[in-house]
A and B are shown apart, each in its own frame.
Chain A
Protein backbone atom coordinates (compact mmCIF):
# COMPACT_ATOMS: atom_id res chain seq x y z
CA UNK A 1 0.00 0.00 0.00
CA UNK A 2 1.31 3.42 -0.90
CA UNK A 3 1.54 6.27 1.56
CA UNK A 4 -1.77 8.10 1.98
CA UNK A 5 -2.40 11.13 -0.17
CA UNK A 6 -1.94 14.27 1.92
CA UNK A 7 -4.64 16.86 1.29
CA UNK A 8 -4.81 20.42 2.59
CA UNK A 9 -8.13 22.27 2.48
CA UNK A 10 -8.58 26.03 2.17
CA UNK A 11 -12.06 27.58 2.37
CA UNK A 12 -13.35 30.54 4.36
CA UNK A 13 -16.71 28.93 5.16
CA UNK A 14 -16.66 26.41 8.03
CA UNK A 15 -19.53 24.30 6.64
CA UNK A 16 -17.76 24.02 3.28
CA UNK A 17 -14.61 22.74 4.98
CA UNK A 18 -16.63 20.33 7.06
CA UNK A 19 -18.35 18.97 3.99
CA UNK A 20 -15.03 18.43 2.20
CA UNK A 21 -13.61 16.69 5.24
CA UNK A 22 -16.53 14.33 5.55
CA UNK A 23 -16.32 13.50 1.84
CA UNK A 24 -12.57 12.92 2.05
CA UNK A 25 -13.14 10.65 5.05
CA UNK A 26 -15.12 8.38 2.75
CA UNK A 27 -12.24 8.02 0.29
CA UNK A 28 -9.63 5.36 1.19
CA UNK A 29 -5.97 6.24 1.51
CA UNK A 30 -6.44 9.98 1.89
CA UNK A 31 -5.55 12.07 4.95
CA UNK A 32 -6.46 15.67 5.57
CA UNK A 33 -3.35 17.36 6.94
CA UNK A 34 -5.02 20.66 7.71
CA UNK A 35 -7.75 23.22 7.10
CA UNK A 36 -7.05 26.88 6.37
CA UNK A 37 -9.47 29.81 6.35
CA UNK A 38 -7.74 31.73 3.61
CA UNK A 39 -4.88 31.58 1.14
CA UNK A 40 -2.36 33.10 3.47
CA UNK A 41 -3.03 30.63 6.25
CA UNK A 42 -2.94 27.81 3.71
CA UNK A 43 0.54 28.81 2.54
CA UNK A 44 2.00 28.86 6.03
CA UNK A 45 0.47 25.43 6.72
CA UNK A 46 1.65 24.07 3.38
CA UNK A 47 5.29 25.05 4.06
CA UNK A 48 5.27 22.70 7.04
CA UNK A 49 2.92 19.94 5.95
CA UNK A 50 4.07 19.63 2.33
CA UNK A 51 0.73 18.28 1.13
CA UNK A 52 0.30 16.38 -2.15
CA UNK A 53 -2.90 18.13 -3.08
CA UNK A 54 -4.44 21.53 -2.29
CA UNK A 55 -8.21 21.94 -2.40
CA UNK A 56 -8.50 25.70 -2.87
CA UNK A 57 -11.65 27.79 -2.72
CA UNK A 58 -11.40 30.72 -5.13
CA UNK A 59 -13.25 33.50 -3.31
CA UNK A 60 -11.60 33.90 0.09
CA UNK A 61 -10.82 36.97 2.18
CA UNK A 62 -7.24 38.12 2.94
CA UNK A 63 -5.81 36.15 0.00
CA UNK A 64 -7.92 34.48 -2.65
CA UNK A 65 -7.37 31.01 -4.07
CA UNK A 66 -5.79 32.04 -7.34
CA UNK A 67 -3.15 34.24 -5.75
CA UNK A 68 -2.47 31.49 -3.20
CA UNK A 69 -1.99 28.97 -6.02
CA UNK A 70 0.57 31.24 -7.64
CA UNK A 71 2.57 31.60 -4.44
CA UNK A 72 2.30 27.85 -3.76
CA UNK A 73 4.45 27.19 -6.82
CA UNK A 74 7.43 28.38 -4.80
CA UNK A 75 7.02 25.61 -2.25
CA UNK A 76 9.87 23.14 -2.01
CA UNK A 77 7.65 20.48 -3.58
CA UNK A 78 4.76 22.25 -5.30
CA UNK A 79 1.48 20.45 -4.57
CA UNK A 80 -1.17 19.55 -7.13
CA UNK A 81 -3.99 22.07 -7.09
CA UNK A 82 -7.73 21.55 -7.41
CA UNK A 83 -9.89 24.64 -7.22
CA UNK A 84 -13.32 24.49 -5.63
CA UNK A 85 -15.98 27.07 -6.35
CA UNK A 86 -19.71 27.62 -6.10
CA UNK A 87 -20.02 29.90 -9.07
CA UNK A 88 -17.30 31.93 -10.67
CA UNK A 89 -18.25 31.97 -14.33
CA UNK A 90 -15.20 33.87 -15.55
CA UNK A 91 -12.82 31.59 -13.67
CA UNK A 92 -14.48 28.42 -14.91
CA UNK A 93 -13.96 29.43 -18.52
CA UNK A 94 -10.27 29.95 -17.95
CA UNK A 95 -10.01 26.65 -16.09
CA UNK A 96 -11.63 24.78 -18.96
CA UNK A 97 -9.43 26.49 -21.48
CA UNK A 98 -6.22 25.67 -19.65
CA UNK A 99 -7.23 22.26 -18.34
CA UNK A 100 -6.92 23.37 -14.72
CA UNK A 101 -8.70 21.06 -12.28
CA UNK A 102 -11.76 22.40 -10.54
CA UNK A 103 -14.75 21.12 -8.61
CA UNK A 104 -18.16 22.74 -8.46
CA UNK A 105 -19.84 23.08 -5.09
CA UNK A 106 -21.80 21.22 -3.90
CA UNK A 107 -19.10 18.68 -4.56
CA UNK A 108 -19.94 15.06 -5.32
CA UNK A 109 -17.96 12.22 -3.90
CA UNK A 110 -17.28 10.59 -7.29
CA UNK A 111 -16.09 13.85 -8.82
CA UNK A 112 -13.80 14.45 -5.88
CA UNK A 113 -12.37 10.94 -6.24
CA UNK A 114 -11.61 11.33 -9.93
CA UNK A 115 -10.12 14.76 -9.38
CA UNK A 116 -7.79 13.44 -6.66
CA UNK A 117 -6.78 10.50 -8.81
CA UNK A 118 -5.60 12.66 -11.66
CA UNK A 119 -4.54 15.73 -9.71
CA UNK A 120 -1.51 17.40 -11.23
CA UNK A 121 0.92 20.12 -10.43
CA UNK A 122 0.18 23.28 -12.40
CA UNK A 123 2.39 23.99 -15.40
CA UNK A 124 3.90 27.46 -15.84
CA UNK A 125 1.59 28.20 -18.77
CA UNK A 126 -1.43 27.43 -16.61
CA UNK A 127 -0.17 29.71 -13.85
CA UNK A 128 0.33 32.49 -16.37
CA UNK A 129 -3.25 32.02 -17.57
CA UNK A 130 -4.61 32.14 -14.03
CA UNK A 131 -2.62 35.25 -13.28
CA UNK A 132 -4.91 37.30 -15.51
CA UNK A 133 -7.93 36.15 -13.48
CA UNK A 134 -6.62 37.19 -10.13
CA UNK A 135 -6.96 40.70 -8.82
CA UNK A 136 -3.59 42.38 -8.12
CA UNK A 137 -1.59 40.42 -5.60
CA UNK A 138 -1.99 41.31 -1.95
CA UNK A 139 1.40 39.87 -1.04
CA UNK A 140 4.81 39.25 -2.52
CA UNK A 141 6.16 35.77 -1.93
CA UNK A 142 9.76 34.84 -1.42
CA UNK A 143 11.20 31.40 -1.39
CA UNK A 144 13.62 31.09 1.48
CA UNK A 145 15.09 27.85 2.82
CA UNK A 146 12.16 25.70 1.79
CA UNK A 147 9.59 28.11 3.16
CA UNK A 148 7.46 30.74 1.57
CA UNK A 149 7.72 34.18 3.12
CA UNK A 150 4.77 36.44 2.44
CA UNK A 151 5.32 40.17 2.49
CA UNK A 152 2.11 42.23 2.51
CA UNK A 153 2.03 44.80 -0.27
CA UNK A 154 1.53 47.56 2.30
CA UNK A 155 4.85 46.78 4.03
CA UNK A 156 6.97 47.39 0.95
CA UNK A 157 9.07 50.58 0.96
CA UNK A 158 10.66 50.20 -2.43
CA UNK A 159 11.73 47.67 -5.04
CA UNK A 160 15.07 47.97 -6.75
CA UNK A 161 16.33 45.99 -9.73
CA UNK A 162 19.77 44.50 -9.19
CA UNK A 163 21.69 42.39 -11.65
CA UNK A 164 19.53 39.30 -11.65
CA UNK A 165 17.07 39.86 -8.84
CA UNK A 166 14.86 42.54 -7.40
CA UNK A 167 15.59 43.75 -3.90
CA UNK A 168 12.44 44.35 -1.92
CA UNK A 169 12.89 46.63 1.07
CA UNK A 170 10.60 46.77 4.11
CA UNK A 171 11.28 48.66 7.36
CA UNK A 172 12.72 45.48 8.88
CA UNK A 173 14.86 43.92 6.19
CA UNK A 174 15.65 43.25 2.58
CA UNK A 175 14.42 40.35 0.45
CA UNK A 176 15.45 39.00 -2.91
CA UNK A 177 12.55 38.62 -5.31
CA UNK A 178 12.41 36.84 -8.65
CA UNK A 179 10.16 39.07 -10.68
CA UNK A 180 10.36 41.97 -13.08
CA UNK A 181 9.98 45.63 -12.22
CA UNK A 182 7.96 46.25 -15.35
CA UNK A 183 5.48 43.57 -14.48
CA UNK A 184 5.11 44.88 -10.94
CA UNK A 185 4.69 48.43 -12.21
CA UNK A 186 1.93 47.30 -14.56
CA UNK A 187 0.22 45.26 -11.87
CA UNK A 188 0.16 48.05 -9.28
CA UNK A 189 0.09 51.38 -11.14
CA UNK A 190 -1.69 53.05 -8.22
CA UNK A 191 0.59 51.70 -5.57
CA UNK A 192 4.12 52.17 -6.88
CA UNK A 193 5.84 55.11 -8.47
CA UNK A 194 8.73 54.74 -10.90
CA UNK A 195 11.49 57.13 -9.79
CA UNK A 196 14.32 55.54 -11.66
CA UNK A 197 14.83 52.99 -14.42
CA UNK A 198 15.69 50.52 -11.70
CA UNK A 199 13.48 51.63 -8.82
CA UNK A 200 9.82 51.61 -7.80
CA UNK A 201 8.75 53.38 -4.59
CA UNK A 202 5.50 52.82 -2.70
CA UNK A 203 3.60 56.08 -3.03
CA UNK A 204 2.30 55.89 0.54
CA UNK A 205 5.83 55.67 1.88
CA UNK A 206 7.10 58.87 0.28
CA UNK A 207 7.75 61.56 2.85
CA UNK A 208 8.92 64.18 0.40
CA UNK A 209 11.60 65.20 -2.07
CA UNK A 210 14.88 66.97 -1.46
CA UNK A 211 17.27 68.70 -3.81
CA UNK A 212 20.87 67.57 -3.50
CA UNK A 213 23.95 69.43 -4.76
CA UNK A 214 26.81 67.46 -6.14
CA UNK A 215 30.47 68.50 -6.00
CA UNK A 216 30.53 69.11 -9.72
CA UNK A 217 27.78 71.71 -9.38
CA UNK A 218 24.96 69.53 -10.69
CA UNK A 219 21.81 69.04 -8.66
CA UNK A 220 19.37 66.18 -8.50
CA UNK A 221 16.34 65.15 -6.48
CA UNK A 222 16.11 62.37 -3.94
CA UNK A 223 13.09 60.71 -2.36
CA UNK A 224 12.81 60.80 1.45
CA UNK A 225 11.03 57.81 2.97
CA UNK A 226 8.71 57.70 5.96
CA UNK A 227 10.46 56.22 8.97
CA UNK A 228 13.51 55.02 7.04
CA UNK A 229 16.77 56.97 6.72
CA UNK A 230 17.89 55.86 3.25
CA UNK A 231 17.26 58.26 0.35
CA UNK A 232 16.62 57.17 -3.21
CA UNK A 233 17.80 59.16 -6.23
CA UNK A 234 15.26 60.32 -8.80
CA UNK A 235 16.60 59.95 -12.32
CA UNK A 236 16.77 62.96 -14.63
CA UNK A 237 14.20 61.38 -16.89
CA UNK A 238 11.71 60.97 -14.01
CA UNK A 239 12.19 64.43 -12.51
CA UNK A 240 8.73 65.53 -13.62
CA UNK A 241 7.20 63.43 -10.84
CA UNK A 242 8.66 65.79 -8.26
CA UNK A 243 6.44 68.54 -9.59
CA UNK A 244 3.45 66.26 -10.05
CA UNK A 245 3.57 64.80 -6.58
CA UNK A 246 5.62 67.06 -4.35
Chain B
Protein backbone atom coordinates (compact mmCIF):
# COMPACT_ATOMS: atom_id res chain seq x y z
CA UNK B 1 0.00 0.00 0.00
CA UNK B 2 2.97 2.25 0.47
CA UNK B 3 3.39 2.77 -3.25
CA UNK B 4 -0.32 3.50 -3.71
CA UNK B 5 -0.09 6.20 -1.07
CA UNK B 6 2.96 7.76 -2.63
CA UNK B 7 1.24 8.03 -5.99
CA UNK B 8 -1.60 10.07 -4.51
CA UNK B 9 0.62 12.39 -2.50
CA UNK B 10 1.52 15.79 -3.78
CA UNK B 11 5.18 16.22 -4.52
CA UNK B 12 7.02 16.77 -1.24
CA UNK B 13 7.95 20.39 -0.39
CA UNK B 14 11.36 21.41 -1.57
CA UNK B 15 13.88 21.11 1.19
CA UNK B 16 16.85 23.39 0.83
CA UNK B 17 20.07 22.02 2.22
CA UNK B 18 23.63 23.25 2.24
CA UNK B 19 25.82 21.72 -0.46
CA UNK B 20 27.99 18.72 0.31
CA UNK B 21 31.27 20.44 1.16
CA UNK B 22 33.25 17.29 0.45
CA UNK B 23 31.97 16.88 -3.08
CA UNK B 24 34.31 17.64 -5.94
CA UNK B 25 31.47 19.41 -7.74
CA UNK B 26 31.13 21.87 -4.86
CA UNK B 27 34.86 22.56 -4.83
CA UNK B 28 35.03 23.10 -8.58
CA UNK B 29 32.01 25.41 -8.73
CA UNK B 30 33.23 27.47 -5.79
CA UNK B 31 36.71 27.89 -7.25
CA UNK B 32 35.31 28.94 -10.61
CA UNK B 33 32.79 31.44 -9.23
CA UNK B 34 35.19 33.00 -6.68
CA UNK B 35 37.91 33.39 -9.31
CA UNK B 36 35.45 34.93 -11.77
CA UNK B 37 34.51 37.47 -9.10
CA UNK B 38 38.24 38.12 -8.58
CA UNK B 39 38.63 38.64 -12.33
CA UNK B 40 35.68 41.06 -12.34
CA UNK B 41 37.29 43.04 -9.52
CA UNK B 42 40.60 43.15 -11.41
CA UNK B 43 38.87 44.49 -14.54
CA UNK B 44 37.10 47.19 -12.53
CA UNK B 45 40.28 48.34 -10.84
CA UNK B 46 42.46 48.52 -13.94
CA UNK B 47 42.62 50.87 -16.89
CA UNK B 48 44.44 48.70 -19.43
CA UNK B 49 44.73 45.00 -20.24
CA UNK B 50 48.29 44.89 -18.91
CA UNK B 51 47.15 46.58 -15.72
CA UNK B 52 44.43 43.99 -15.35
CA UNK B 53 46.94 41.16 -15.09
CA UNK B 54 48.80 43.08 -12.46
CA UNK B 55 45.63 43.66 -10.45
CA UNK B 56 44.61 40.01 -10.84
CA UNK B 57 47.95 38.93 -9.48
CA UNK B 58 47.60 41.27 -6.53
CA UNK B 59 44.07 40.04 -5.79
CA UNK B 60 45.24 36.46 -6.11
CA UNK B 61 47.78 36.82 -3.33
CA UNK B 62 44.80 37.13 -0.98
CA UNK B 63 42.15 35.21 -2.90
CA UNK B 64 43.99 31.94 -3.55
CA UNK B 65 45.20 31.33 0.04
CA UNK B 66 41.71 32.29 1.18
CA UNK B 67 40.08 29.75 -1.13
CA UNK B 68 42.50 27.02 -0.19
CA UNK B 69 42.01 27.65 3.50
CA UNK B 70 38.21 27.83 3.20
CA UNK B 71 37.99 24.60 1.23
CA UNK B 72 40.09 22.79 3.80
CA UNK B 73 38.14 24.20 6.75
CA UNK B 74 34.79 23.36 5.15
CA UNK B 75 36.00 19.89 4.22
CA UNK B 76 37.04 19.26 7.82
CA UNK B 77 33.93 20.75 9.41
CA UNK B 78 31.46 19.67 6.69
CA UNK B 79 29.88 16.74 8.58
CA UNK B 80 29.38 18.92 11.68
CA UNK B 81 27.75 21.71 9.71
CA UNK B 82 25.59 19.13 7.97
CA UNK B 83 23.92 18.29 11.27
CA UNK B 84 22.70 21.87 11.79
CA UNK B 85 19.50 23.33 10.36
CA UNK B 86 19.87 25.33 7.14
CA UNK B 87 19.80 28.70 8.95
CA UNK B 88 22.34 27.73 11.57
CA UNK B 89 24.43 26.09 8.87
CA UNK B 90 24.57 29.35 6.89
CA UNK B 91 25.60 31.25 10.04
CA UNK B 92 28.28 28.67 10.76
CA UNK B 93 29.67 28.97 7.24
CA UNK B 94 29.75 32.78 7.50
CA UNK B 95 31.53 32.54 10.86
CA UNK B 96 34.09 30.09 9.48
CA UNK B 97 34.73 32.39 6.53
CA UNK B 98 35.22 35.42 8.81
CA UNK B 99 37.75 33.52 10.88
CA UNK B 100 39.44 32.29 7.69
CA UNK B 101 39.53 35.82 6.27
CA UNK B 102 41.15 37.18 9.42
CA UNK B 103 43.76 34.43 9.55
CA UNK B 104 44.61 34.71 5.84
CA UNK B 105 44.83 38.51 6.11
CA UNK B 106 47.19 38.27 9.09
CA UNK B 107 49.23 35.56 7.38
CA UNK B 108 49.70 37.41 4.10
CA UNK B 109 50.48 40.72 5.81
CA UNK B 110 53.28 39.11 7.80
CA UNK B 111 54.50 37.30 4.70
CA UNK B 112 54.41 40.27 2.30
CA UNK B 113 54.92 43.05 4.82
CA UNK B 114 52.01 45.30 5.81
CA UNK B 115 51.26 46.09 2.22
CA UNK B 116 47.94 44.23 1.91
CA UNK B 117 45.83 45.77 -0.82
CA UNK B 118 42.68 45.89 1.38
CA UNK B 119 42.19 46.99 4.92
CA UNK B 120 40.87 44.23 7.18
CA UNK B 121 37.38 45.77 7.26
CA UNK B 122 37.11 45.87 3.48
CA UNK B 123 38.44 42.29 3.25
CA UNK B 124 35.79 41.10 5.74
CA UNK B 125 33.08 42.77 3.72
CA UNK B 126 34.30 41.24 0.44
CA UNK B 127 34.50 37.82 2.06
CA UNK B 128 30.94 38.06 3.41
CA UNK B 129 29.66 39.22 0.02
CA UNK B 130 31.37 36.43 -1.92
CA UNK B 131 30.23 33.81 0.59
CA UNK B 132 26.66 35.11 0.36
CA UNK B 133 26.76 34.99 -3.44
CA UNK B 134 28.03 31.41 -3.36
CA UNK B 135 25.52 30.26 -0.76
CA UNK B 136 22.76 31.91 -2.80
CA UNK B 137 23.99 30.12 -5.90
CA UNK B 138 24.03 26.72 -4.20
CA UNK B 139 20.60 27.41 -2.74
CA UNK B 140 19.17 28.12 -6.21
CA UNK B 141 20.97 25.15 -7.68
CA UNK B 142 19.50 22.93 -4.98
CA UNK B 143 16.01 24.21 -5.78
CA UNK B 144 16.51 23.82 -9.49
CA UNK B 145 17.64 20.25 -9.08
CA UNK B 146 15.09 19.08 -6.55
CA UNK B 147 12.28 18.55 -9.09
CA UNK B 148 14.92 16.53 -10.86
CA UNK B 149 15.13 14.34 -7.80
CA UNK B 150 11.42 13.73 -8.05
CA UNK B 151 11.95 12.97 -11.70
CA UNK B 152 14.70 10.53 -10.89
CA UNK B 153 11.92 8.23 -9.81
CA UNK B 154 10.20 8.56 -13.16
CA UNK B 155 13.47 8.08 -14.95
CA UNK B 156 14.10 4.93 -13.00
CA UNK B 157 10.73 3.76 -14.25
CA UNK B 158 11.72 4.56 -17.81
CA UNK B 159 14.78 2.43 -17.38
CA UNK B 160 12.32 -0.25 -16.45
CA UNK B 161 12.46 -3.86 -17.32
CA UNK B 162 11.66 -4.53 -20.95
CA UNK B 163 8.16 -5.77 -21.66
CA UNK B 164 9.91 -8.42 -23.70
CA UNK B 165 11.44 -9.76 -20.49
CA UNK B 166 8.18 -9.57 -18.52
CA UNK B 167 6.14 -11.58 -20.99
CA UNK B 168 8.86 -14.10 -21.70
CA UNK B 169 9.28 -14.66 -17.95
CA UNK B 170 5.57 -15.15 -17.40
CA UNK B 171 5.67 -17.59 -20.27
CA UNK B 172 8.58 -19.43 -18.68
CA UNK B 173 6.79 -19.63 -15.34
CA UNK B 174 3.68 -21.00 -17.06
CA UNK B 175 5.79 -23.70 -18.67
CA UNK B 176 7.15 -25.02 -15.37
CA UNK B 177 3.96 -24.71 -13.32
CA UNK B 178 2.76 -28.23 -14.15
CA UNK B 179 6.05 -30.09 -13.73
CA UNK B 180 7.90 -28.09 -11.12
CA UNK B 181 5.54 -26.04 -8.95
CA UNK B 182 8.35 -25.20 -6.50
CA UNK B 183 10.46 -23.61 -9.22
CA UNK B 184 7.42 -21.70 -10.40
CA UNK B 185 6.87 -20.41 -6.86
CA UNK B 186 10.43 -19.14 -6.53
CA UNK B 187 10.23 -17.52 -9.94
CA UNK B 188 7.01 -15.69 -9.08
CA UNK B 189 8.49 -14.54 -5.77
CA UNK B 190 11.52 -13.17 -7.60
CA UNK B 191 9.26 -11.39 -10.05
CA UNK B 192 7.26 -9.88 -7.21
CA UNK B 193 10.45 -8.55 -5.60
CA UNK B 194 11.66 -7.09 -8.86
CA UNK B 195 8.42 -5.27 -9.48
CA UNK B 196 8.23 -4.05 -5.91
CA UNK B 197 11.49 -2.21 -6.49
CA UNK B 198 10.42 -1.03 -9.93
CA UNK B 199 7.25 0.51 -8.57
CA UNK B 200 8.79 1.91 -5.39
CA UNK B 201 9.75 5.50 -4.80
CA UNK B 202 13.24 5.43 -6.23
CA UNK B 203 14.60 8.79 -5.15
CA UNK B 204 16.51 7.49 -2.16
CA UNK B 205 19.87 5.85 -2.38
CA UNK B 206 19.94 2.18 -1.39
CA UNK B 207 22.72 0.00 0.00
CA UNK B 208 24.72 -1.72 -2.72
CA UNK B 209 23.94 -5.13 -1.26
CA UNK B 210 20.23 -4.76 -1.87
CA UNK B 211 20.81 -3.72 -5.48
CA UNK B 212 23.05 -6.76 -5.88
CA UNK B 213 20.40 -9.01 -4.31
CA UNK B 214 17.89 -7.65 -6.81
CA UNK B 215 20.30 -8.36 -9.65
CA UNK B 216 20.70 -11.94 -8.49
CA UNK B 217 16.94 -12.43 -8.46
CA UNK B 218 16.65 -10.93 -11.89
CA UNK B 219 19.38 -13.20 -13.26
CA UNK B 220 17.73 -16.23 -11.70
CA UNK B 221 14.62 -15.44 -13.70
CA UNK B 222 16.63 -15.10 -16.89
CA UNK B 223 18.35 -18.38 -16.09
CA UNK B 224 14.96 -20.06 -16.03
CA UNK B 225 14.37 -18.90 -19.58
CA UNK B 226 17.80 -19.27 -21.06
CA UNK B 227 19.13 -22.27 -19.15
CA UNK B 228 22.79 -23.06 -19.73
CA UNK B 229 23.18 -20.40 -22.37
CA UNK B 230 23.44 -17.89 -19.53
CA UNK B 231 26.56 -18.18 -17.38
CA UNK B 232 27.15 -15.72 -14.56
CA UNK B 233 30.38 -15.04 -12.70
CA UNK B 234 30.29 -12.80 -9.64
CA UNK B 235 33.39 -11.25 -8.07
CA UNK B 236 32.10 -9.58 -4.92
CA UNK B 237 34.61 -10.58 -2.24
CA UNK B 238 35.81 -7.03 -1.85
CA UNK B 239 32.38 -5.44 -2.28
CA UNK B 240 31.36 -2.78 0.26
CA UNK B 241 27.76 -3.91 0.82
CA UNK B 242 26.92 -0.76 2.76
CA UNK B 243 27.93 1.66 -0.01
CA UNK B 244 25.02 3.78 -1.17
CA UNK B 245 23.90 3.65 -4.79
CA UNK B 246 20.85 4.92 -6.70
CA UNK B 247 18.41 2.03 -7.13
CA UNK B 248 18.21 0.27 -10.50
CA UNK B 249 21.67 1.23 -11.67
CA UNK B 250 23.11 -2.26 -12.06
CA UNK B 251 19.97 -4.20 -12.98
CA UNK B 252 19.28 -2.41 -16.30
CA UNK B 253 22.92 -2.94 -17.25
CA UNK B 254 22.57 -6.66 -16.64
CA UNK B 255 19.37 -6.67 -18.63
CA UNK B 256 21.24 -5.11 -21.54
CA UNK B 257 24.01 -7.66 -21.15
CA UNK B 258 21.50 -10.48 -21.44
CA UNK B 259 19.52 -8.90 -24.26
CA UNK B 260 22.48 -7.87 -26.43
CA UNK B 261 25.13 -10.32 -25.29
CA UNK B 262 23.48 -13.65 -24.52
CA UNK B 263 20.19 -13.85 -26.40
CA UNK B 264 21.56 -13.22 -29.92
CA UNK B 265 24.08 -16.01 -29.54
CA UNK B 266 23.15 -19.63 -30.05
CA UNK B 267 25.76 -21.00 -27.67
CA UNK B 268 25.22 -18.28 -25.10
CA UNK B 269 28.03 -16.84 -23.03
CA UNK B 270 29.31 -15.52 -19.77
CA UNK B 271 28.41 -12.31 -17.96
CA UNK B 272 31.06 -11.22 -15.46
CA UNK B 273 30.20 -8.83 -12.65
CA UNK B 274 33.03 -7.51 -10.49
CA UNK B 275 32.39 -5.04 -7.70
CA UNK B 276 35.10 -3.82 -5.37
CA UNK B 277 36.32 -1.00 -3.22
CA UNK B 278 39.48 0.84 -4.17
CA UNK B 279 40.46 3.56 -1.74
CA UNK B 280 37.35 5.72 -1.49
CA UNK B 281 35.74 4.59 -4.70
CA UNK B 282 33.39 1.77 -5.51
CA UNK B 283 34.10 0.18 -8.88
CA UNK B 284 31.56 -1.96 -10.68
CA UNK B 285 32.47 -3.75 -13.91
CA UNK B 286 29.99 -5.63 -16.03
CA UNK B 287 31.20 -7.40 -19.13
CA UNK B 288 29.45 -9.60 -21.62
CA UNK B 289 30.23 -11.24 -24.95
CA UNK B 290 29.17 -9.18 -27.88
CA UNK B 291 29.30 -9.48 -31.60
CA UNK B 292 30.07 -6.32 -33.51
CA UNK B 293 27.42 -5.14 -35.88
CA UNK B 294 24.51 -6.78 -34.11
CA UNK B 295 21.56 -4.50 -34.53
CA UNK B 296 19.61 -2.34 -32.07
CA UNK B 297 21.89 -0.23 -29.93
CA UNK B 298 19.34 2.47 -29.31
CA UNK B 299 17.81 0.74 -26.30
CA UNK B 300 21.24 0.28 -24.79
CA UNK B 301 22.25 3.93 -25.31
CA UNK B 302 19.03 5.10 -23.70
CA UNK B 303 19.64 3.01 -20.61
CA UNK B 304 23.22 4.28 -20.32
CA UNK B 305 22.16 7.92 -20.63
CA UNK B 306 19.49 7.42 -18.04
CA UNK B 307 21.88 5.83 -15.56
CA UNK B 308 24.53 8.52 -16.18
CA UNK B 309 21.97 11.23 -15.44
CA UNK B 310 20.87 9.62 -12.22
CA UNK B 311 24.47 9.13 -11.08
CA UNK B 312 25.21 12.79 -11.78
CA UNK B 313 22.12 13.87 -9.88
CA UNK B 314 23.25 12.05 -6.77
CA UNK B 315 27.05 12.29 -6.97
CA UNK B 316 27.77 15.16 -9.35
CA UNK B 317 31.28 14.85 -10.83
CA UNK B 318 32.36 12.12 -8.49
CA UNK B 319 30.57 9.31 -10.26
CA UNK B 320 31.12 8.21 -13.81
CA UNK B 321 30.01 5.55 -16.22
CA UNK B 322 32.06 4.44 -19.19
CA UNK B 323 31.26 1.84 -21.82
CA UNK B 324 33.84 0.14 -23.94
CA UNK B 325 33.34 -2.24 -26.82
CA UNK B 326 36.02 -4.42 -28.32
CA UNK B 327 35.96 -7.07 -31.01
CA UNK B 328 33.94 -9.59 -29.04
CA UNK B 329 33.37 -8.06 -25.63
CA UNK B 330 31.32 -5.22 -24.19
CA UNK B 331 32.15 -3.67 -20.86
CA UNK B 332 30.51 -1.07 -18.64
CA UNK B 333 32.49 0.50 -15.82
CA UNK B 334 30.86 2.50 -13.03
CA UNK B 335 32.78 4.47 -10.44
CA UNK B 336 31.02 5.85 -7.36
CA UNK B 337 32.27 7.65 -4.28
CA UNK B 338 32.05 5.38 -1.26
CA UNK B 339 29.25 6.74 0.92
CA UNK B 340 28.17 4.50 3.74
CA UNK B 341 24.58 4.07 4.76
CA UNK B 342 23.91 5.23 8.30
CA UNK B 343 21.82 2.14 8.99
CA UNK B 344 23.95 -0.89 9.87
Instruction: Decide: A106 and B171 in contact? CB cutoff 8 A.
Output: yes
Which residue on B lies nearest to A40, using beta carbons?
A: B266
B185 within 8 A of A: no
Interface range for A? 20 to 34
Q: Which of B164, B172, B264 contacts A15 (CB 8 A)?
A: B172
Q: For the complex, is A37 an interface residue (Cβ under 8 Å from B)?
A: yes
Q: Is the CB of A61 within 8 A of B170?
A: no
Q: A86-B167, A87-B163, A87-B167 are in contact. Are A19 and B263 (CB under 8 A)?
A: no
Interface string of B143-175 (1 = CB under 8 A from A): 000000000000000000011101110111011
Pick the interface stretch among B43-51, B63-71, B224-232, B328-336.
B224-232
Kindly report which residue of chain A lies nearest to residue B294, judged by CB atoms: A135
- The reply on A114 being an interface residue by CB < 8 A is no
Q: Which residues of chain B in 64-114 are interfacial with respect to chain A, using CB atoms and an 8 Å cutoff?
A: none
Q: Are B225 and A15 in contact (CB under 8 A)?
A: yes
Contact of A104 among B167, B175, B176, B225 (CB under 8 A): B167
- Are A22 and B175 closer than 8 Å at their CB atoms? yes
User: B-side binding surface: helix, strand, loop or mixed?
Assistant: helix
Whether A13 touches B172, Cβ cut-off 8 Å, given contacts A22-B178, A87-B162, is yes
Asked if A59 and B163 make an inter-chain contact with CB atoms under 8 angstroms apart, the answer reads no
Determine the chain B residues whose CB is within 8 A of the CB of A73 once the complex forms. none
Enumerate chain B residues within 8 angstroms of A106, measured Cβ to Cβ. 167, 170-171, 174
The answer to whether A19 and B175 touch (CB under 8 A), given A59-B263, A86-B168, A105-B168, is yes
Q: In the bound complex, what is the Cα–Cα distance between A86 and B163 (angstroms)? A: 8
Interchain nearest-CB distance for B120 vs A (Å): 70
**Residues of chain B lying within 8 A (CB to CB) of residue A141:** none
B18 to chain A, nearest CB (A): 46
Residues of A whose CB lies within 8 Å of any CB of B are 12-16, 18-19, 22, 37-38, 59, 61-62, 86-88, 104-107, 135
Chain B residues near A (Cβ < 8 Å): 162-164, 166-168, 170-172, 174-176, 178, 224-227, 263-266, 295
6 additional A-B residue pairs with CB within 8 Å, beyond A18-B175, A22-B175, A37-B266: A16-B225, A19-B174, A87-B162, A105-B171, A106-B170, A135-B295
